[in-house]
């Protein structure tokens, strides 16, 4: 005869999450990842001009290489599909392309053509999204 402990917590049977909750989480995942990509792109554009003692600091390149795969991971994980990497990637790259061609009222460009840090940020940031997506595609093919 098995005697159970009356002080032990009773755990209810696990129910699968409702379809409405799953849809809400997926939509929130896409929205949050798009907002994060936009905020990241804005900060990285303005971080390209960061200098310490007149020497340019490439912190925006490092940020793009670290933050963009994290955003892609978050999008793919919350949505559960690889296509979720696309919307933040498009928003990030679109903002960067807009910033490269935008002139301020004073006549300055947000991203100058002779600023190697800004150009490296644009290139490597977009490649960071592409690299994450490519890795996920390969992983999906290798898994039986």
Residues 6+ apart with CB under 8 A from 131: 69
pLDDT digit string, tens, across residues 56-101? 888 999 999 999 999 999 999 999 899 999 999 999 999 999 988 8
Contacts made by residues 3-11, CB under 8 angstroms, sequence distance 24+: none
Confidence (pTM): 0.82
Q: Mean of the pLDDT values across residues 102-114? A: 81
Q: Per the domain annotation, does 135 fall within a domain?
A: yes
**Residue 133: CB atoms within 10 Å:** 18
User: Total domain count for the chain?
Assistant: 1
Domain range for 65: 23-142
Contact status, residue 33 vs residue 81, Cβ threshold 8 Å: no
10 Å CB burial of residue 43 (0-12, 13-18, 19+) is: middle
Q: Per the domain annotation, does 15 fall within a domain?
A: no
pLDDT of 12 > 80? The answer is no
pLDDT of 10 > 70? The answer is no
Distance from the Cα of residue 16 to its chain's centroid: 28
Strands, E assignment, the chain? 51-52, 55-56
Q: Per the domain annotation, does 18 fall within a domain?
A: no
From residue 35, alpha-carbon distances to 4, 14, 39, 48 in Å are 50, 33, 6, 20
């Amino acid at each position: 005869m098995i005697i159970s402990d009356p002080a032990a917590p009773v755990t209810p049977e696990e129910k699968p999450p409702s379809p409405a909750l799953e849809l809400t989480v997926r939509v929130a995942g896409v929205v949050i990842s798009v907002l994060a990509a936009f905020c990241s792109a804005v900060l990285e554009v303005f971080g390209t001009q960061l200098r310490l003692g007149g020497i340019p600091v490439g912190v925006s390149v490092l940020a793009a290489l670290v933050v963009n795969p994290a955003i892609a991971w978050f999008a793919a994980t919350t949505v559960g599909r690889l296509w979720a990497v696309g919307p933040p990637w498009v928003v990030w790259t679109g903002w960067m392309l807009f910033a490269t061609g935008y002139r301020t009222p004073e006549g300055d460009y947000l991203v100058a053509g002779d600023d190697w840090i800004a150009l490296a940020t644009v290139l490597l940031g977009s490649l960071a999204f592409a690299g994450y997506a490519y890795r996920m595609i390969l992983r999906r093919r290798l898994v039986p």
